[in-house]
Structure 1
Amino acid sequence: QAIIPGYENVATALMKQTIANNGVATIPDLRELCQEADVKFIACQMTVELFGFEHSDFIDGLEYGGAATFFEFAGETDICLFI
């Protein structure tokens, strides 16, 4: 399957416009609300390392861990989202 050059940029712009047209909160707005509500963010350390990211590439307040860390925490929560 071939990808059309610039397709990701167009798709992103269309998604942002669809979100705005329907009055849905933006990702930065939702993230800010979650941070204000003390939602715990756990980033996958293996993925961070695999793609060569640094902790400084991410927002403040993240915790880093593997699957065991996530599942230990997730098993104790009432609501848990895995994205």
Structure 2
Amino acid sequence: MTRYMAGKMAKLDIPPIPEFIEMIADTGAGIYACKASVDLFELTKNDLIDQVQGIITVGEFYEHAAGSQIIYT
């Protein structure tokens, strides 16, 4: 991340990305990677941060989210 971006985030009181990820992980909501994106960039689970619980398809995401409010897709 550039200094410019870090400064903008600090100004908006957005925590640094590692802290933000920990905050999300602590909610118990789960962090998942998009299978299409992982495949596109030829990544594996080993390339991702430890907090990523799995690599799932869009259909699997909607199954996990059933009955919940989806904010970002």
> Identical aligned pairs, as a percentage?
24
- The corresponding residue for 2:56 is 65
Is the alpha carbon distance of 1:61 and 1:31 closer, same or farther for their aligned partners in structure 2, counting shifts above 3 Å? closer
> Normalized per residue, which structure has more strand?
2
How many residue pairs match? The answer is 72
Instruction: Compute the TM-score of the two structures, normalised by the length of structure 2.
Output: 0.76
Segments of 4+ moved more than 6 angstroms: none
Higher relative CO (Cα under 8 Å, sequence separation at least 6) belongs to 2
RMSD value, Cα? 2.0
User: How far off its partner does 1:18 sit?
Assistant: 1.6
Instruction: Compute the TM-score of the two structures, normalised by the length of structure 1.
Output: 0.69
Deviations 1:19-69 (A, max 9, x none): 223433122111111112212112111210111112111112422111100
Q: How far apart, CA to CA, are the structure 2 residues paired with 1:54 and 1:82?
A: 23
Higher Rg of the two aligned structures: 1
